[in-house]
Amino acid sequence: MLRQFLMAKIHGGTVTRCDLNYEGSCGLGEELLQASGIRPLEKVLVLNVSTGNRLETYAIRSATRGEIALNGAAARYASPGDKVIIIAFAILSDSEIATHRARILILNDRNQIKSAKLQRVSAR
């Protein structure tokens, strides 16, 4: 059986830019991609804490450090300054669950990593 688990979470991010006419979707600074393990073109869920909006999109690499940008249609779901949580999931087999660790990043108001941890799947 396959099950879906949290793979990565970027918590407390601040939207820095929204561009309706830009091709691409959720732009993340290189340091956020590397620390979270999210890869360019990977599906992500963006939870807008400020508005309650939720959207599925994909990640792209941003050249700007600390950037969290929503582009194209995703730009309609947020405004610069909104607080967001960005999450990605992994589909795991029963044998992979025991060794799986989700990467969780907590950001400050400038989208710098305040803390990072690995969280394992808890027992039943």
Across residues 86-105, what is the average pLDDT? Answer: 96
- Residue 25 known to be catalytic: yes
Structure tokens at 97: 């669950």
Catalytic pick from 22, 36, 58, 115?
58
Catalytic pick from 25, 36, 62, 77?
25
Beta bridge partners of 17: 69
What are the pLDDT digits (tens) for 44-74? 999 999 999 999 999 999 999 999 999 999 9
Q: How high is the pLDDT of residue 38?
A: 98
Range of the domain at 88: 2-120
Cβ neighbours of residue 86 under 8 Å, at least 6 residues apart? 8, 9, 10, 13, 26, 28, 36, 38, 44, 45, 46, 47, 59, 68
> In the structure, what pLDDT confidence band is assigned to residue 123 with cuts at 50, 70 and 90?
low
CATH code at position 97: 2.40.40.20
User: Is the whole model's pTM more than 0.75, yes or no?
Assistant: yes
What are the pLDDT digits (tens) for 25-47? 999 999 999 999 999 999 999 99
Total structural domains within the chain: 1
- Residue 95 known to be catalytic: no
